[in-house]
Structure 1
Amino acid sequence: MSNAPEVTPEARGTVVTPVRVVIALCLAAPFVALLWVGSYAKATPVFIGIPFFYWYQMLWVIVSTGLTMIAYHLWRRDQQARATRSGNGGASK
């Protein structure tokens, strides 16, 4: 038998928490929305002369930026909370 300490899932960072689920949804939403081409492969409605097919994709550039920022801030807050709970006093790399 080995005397190596047992590594828990939390120590490896593999614990699924509600915050991490929200982060995953924020990062997955743009992929799902843009890979489902049938939902936006049409010309109408037109917005300032631009067919729906194009302005929908451009809108997702802005939405994706916002969702990525939200995911980043949630991740940082989660990491700081985990560092505080583990006794590192909130120290981050």
Structure 2
Amino acid sequence: MVTPVRVVIALCLLAPFVAMLWVGSYAKVDPAFIGIPFFYWYQMLWVLVSTALTMVAYQLWQRDQRARKTRTGGAAQ
């Protein structure tokens, strides 16, 4: 069943893949950050962003599962 919450979860999990697979968007040297070329610090930034997005997706999934159990009276689905 597709719900808005599940779409948000999917987008949270898909965004890091799209960002990292679209190499042309970050395959450059400038702007450098504290002497680190853009190519490297952009990827490191996505490590942190991916962690945050995964945590958000997990929390939304847990809330969705609790709500489904409540709606169905605790029956497993």
**Which bracket does the TM-score occupy, shorter chain normalised?**
over 0.9
CA RMSD of aligned residues (A): 1.3
CA distance in 1, matches of 2:50, 2:21: 14
Q: Measure, in 2, the Cα distance between the counterparts of 1:88 and 1:82.
A: 8
Return 5+ residue gaps in structure 2 as ranges. Answer: none
Compare the two structures and name the one with the higher helix fraction: 2
Q: Mind listing any 5+ residue stretches in structure 1 that lack a counterpart?
A: 1-14
Percent identity between the two aligned chains: 78
- Of structures 1 and 2, the larger Rg is shown by 1
Structure with greater contact order relative to length (CA < 8 Å, sep ≥ 6): 2
User: Could you tell me how far apart the structure 2 residues matched to 1:72 and 1:65 are?
Assistant: 11
TM-score, scaled to structure 2: 0.96
1:87 maps to what in 2? 73
Runs of 4+ deviating beyond 6 Å: none
